[in-house]
Amino acid sequence: QKEVEQDPGPLSVPEGAIVSLNCTYSNSAFQYFMWYRQYSRKGPELLMYTYSSGNKEDGRFTAQVDKSSKYISLFIRDSQPSDSATYLCAMSPPEYGNKLVFGAGTILRVKS
C-alpha cells in the first residue's frame, strides 16, 4: 500500500464550480500536511500548509485535515481557468526531518 494515495484525474470542471481534491494516507504519524500547485513546465509551489487536524482558509482555498479518517482535502471556491494545474498533496511526520511524502498529483482543468 502506498503511503499517500491521490487520484490522478484529470478532473474537469466549469468555471465557477467548487472543486474538491483529496488524498488519503496510511501513516498515522503524519502531522504536517501541505498542498502544492504545479503549473505546466513549472516546479511545484506551496499553496497551503496545515499542522495536525482542522481547517485552514486562504482566500478561495480551504485545506481540511481529518486525522481520524486519514484524509485530507483541498477545496477551491469559484474556480477559475487560472486554477488549471496539477495539485500535489504532501505530508510528513516530525521525525522525517526535511523529507516529505508526496501524492501522485491530481490534474485539474477549469473550463471557461
Residues that bind other proteins (CB under 8 A): 2, 4, 6, 8, 32, 34, 41-46, 49, 51, 88, 90-92, 94, 96-105
Q: How far is the CB of 78 from other proteins (least distance, A)?
A: 26
CB nearer to other proteins: give 6 or 64: 6
Q: How far is the CB of 11 from other proteins (least distance, A)?
A: 14
Residue whose CB is less far from other proteins, 49 or 75 = 49
H/E/C letters for each residue in the chain?
A: CCCEECCCCCEEEECCCCEEEEEEECCCCCCEEEEEEECCCCCCEEEEEEECCEEEEECCEEEEEECCCCEEEEEECCCCHHHCEEEEEEEECHHHCCCCEECCCEEEEEEC
Cβ(71)–Cβ(55) below 8 Å: no
Whose Cβ is closer to other proteins: residue 13's or residue 107's? 107
Q: How far is the CB of 30 from other proteins (least distance, A)?
A: 9
The least distance separating other proteins from the CB of residue 36, rounded to whole angstroms, comes to 8
C-alpha cell at 8: 490522478
CB of 51 or CB of 71, closer to other proteins: 51
